[in-house]
Amino acid sequence: MGQNKETSTPKEKWVSWKYIKKIILINEDTDYETTESNISKSIEFKGVNIWILFCATILASIGLNVNSTAVIIGAMLISPLMGPINGIGFAVGTFNDDLLRKSLRNLAIMVIISLLASTLYFIVSPLSDAQSELLARTRPTIFDVLIAFFGGCAGFIATSRKDQPFTIISGVAIATALMPPLCTAGFGIATLQFKYFFGAFYLFFINSVFIACATFLLTKYLKFPASTFVYPGRERIVKRTIIIFSILVMIPSFFFAINVVKESSFNNQVIKYITEIQKNDILKDTQLINYKKEYNRNKSSLNLFLVGKQLSATEIDTLRKIMVTDFGLSKTQLTIKQTSQVVDVNMQTSVLEEMIANKSSELQEKEHQIAQLNNQIDTLKMQQDKYQEQTAIIGNKYKYAISSISISEINYYQPKNNTTTKIPTLYIKWDNGKRDESIITELKTWVPLLLNVPSVKIVEQ
């Protein structure tokens, strides 16, 4: 009898390359037809979308104006700005010149409407100070580039799925933050502070370009079919035109991104440098009370403000060498501004403490003034509410002859005896300008009884 040999199969690997590919690849679930249809619909801009964009712009402007993050997030969720930007990236990836023209045109219209709406809001808004939410949109950093690119990737991946995850698309709308920079640009126009306009619009441009880049790259990776053309010659012209256009748009954006990276690196190195020199023995008897940095592509600057022992030329040179050799700030001009020599550090400390105390005293005085003004406002409101009911009674009684009436307490100054008397004053506007003397007589008689005052004055308009 022959001996049976047990057949054995090799054990499956716990993790195989095939299994990893199955997890990370996203091609299988891509819905090509629905994606193209959804992107084409999202770039439509008429009717409802115009009003939604207008409302989103006003909401974002209010949120920036009152420093409300929640309102800004709400505006970003309803803004339709993402549609044309995705359309541009998708059109470039599929060589669809009609879609590209439509996307560019609608994006330009959206930008103009957003700028007009935000500018109009900030012109009429009584709040003109730049809050932190506004200022955050005027200085792009490398993080804004990364957020725009990876947010655009996540948004297009979600859009291309058969079951589109709404939470991802909503999250992308918040993360990429297209609406707030446009509204900040409108603030710059309204207040004639063009540094805000250029900084914010630059941030919007960076966000838009890198979202479109992400869409373009994923369109190519997922192998969306290129548009078909009736005439082969037209296909070559369209493809060549789109490629040239893409290069012209992409090249400046990468230069912008490089500049943003360099500025971020400069800011980080300056902070590290400041931390390091404060530990150095050179500043043992000297205090760094402030510093000011300004990035420039050709020549940046760093100003140090010192109080205490005057530094020698050798010590200043050492600080410059540390800045260049240890922190790579070779294109930065270091300027050190020192007070007159203060040998006694304790005296220096007492001077600083006195300055802080004075500032604290000034702040308390300002707070006291604000409290007084608030009290005056509350008093005026109470006075206005005081006569609200009586104004309605008088207005209803003479509605046949008076078109409008209001009552206010006015201070009347008598220079002869140097006294001030507060007298309720009626402001009357006659209907069709027809004055009625009998009504004036009646008002002077019974209105003081109604208001419980000795007398009233009447001003006719």
| pLDDT at residue number 8 | 46
Q: Render pLDDT for 165-202 as a digit per residue (tens, 0 to 9).
A: 555 555 565 556 788 888 888 888 888 888 888 888 88
Beta 419-430 vs 457-460: how paired, if at all? parallel
Mean of the pLDDT values across residues 36-57?
83
pLDDT at 343: 44
What gap in Å lies between CA 98 and CA 201, rounded to an integer?
26
pLDDT value at 116 more than 90: yes
Q: What is the second-level CATH architecture of the domain 387-460?
A: 2-Layer Sandwich (3.30)
Mean pLDDT of the chain: 77
**Edge to edge, what strands does the sheet with 286-294 contain?**
286-294, 300-308, 332-338
SS3 126: coil
Decide if pLDDT at 1 tops 50. no
The mean per-residue pLDDT over the stretch 448-454 comes to: 81
> What residues does each domain of the chain span?
27-227, 266-338, 387-460
Look up residue 39 and give its amino acid. Answer: I
pLDDT at 434: 79
Q: Are residues 267 and 293 in contact, defined by beta-carbon separation less than 8 angstroms?
A: yes
Query: What angle (nearest 5°) sits at the alpha carbon of residue 297, between those of residues 295 and 299?
Result: 70
Sequence-separated (6 or more) residues with CB below 8 Å from residue 188: 194, 195, 196, 197, 198, 199, 200
Can 27-227 and 266-338 be said to share one CATH topology? Answer: no
At residue 132 the predicted structure's pLDDT band, cuts being 50, 70 and 90, is low
Q: Give the pLDDT of residue 112.
A: 92
CATH code for 27-227?
Answer: 1.20.1080
Question: How far is the C-alpha of 217 from the C-alpha of 147, rounded, in Å?
Answer: 16
| Cross-strand pairs, 457 | 425
- The angle at the Cα of 67, spanning 64 to 71, to the nearest 5 degrees, equals 70
CA distances from 75 to 63, 64, 381 (A): 8, 11, 33
Reply yes or no on domain 266-338 having CATH 3.40.1350: no
Q: pLDDT by residue (tens digit) across 288-313?
A: 878 888 888 788 888 888 887 888 88
Query: Could you tell me how many residues make up the chain?
Result: 461
- Segment 20-33, tens digit of pLDDT: 666 666 666 777 77
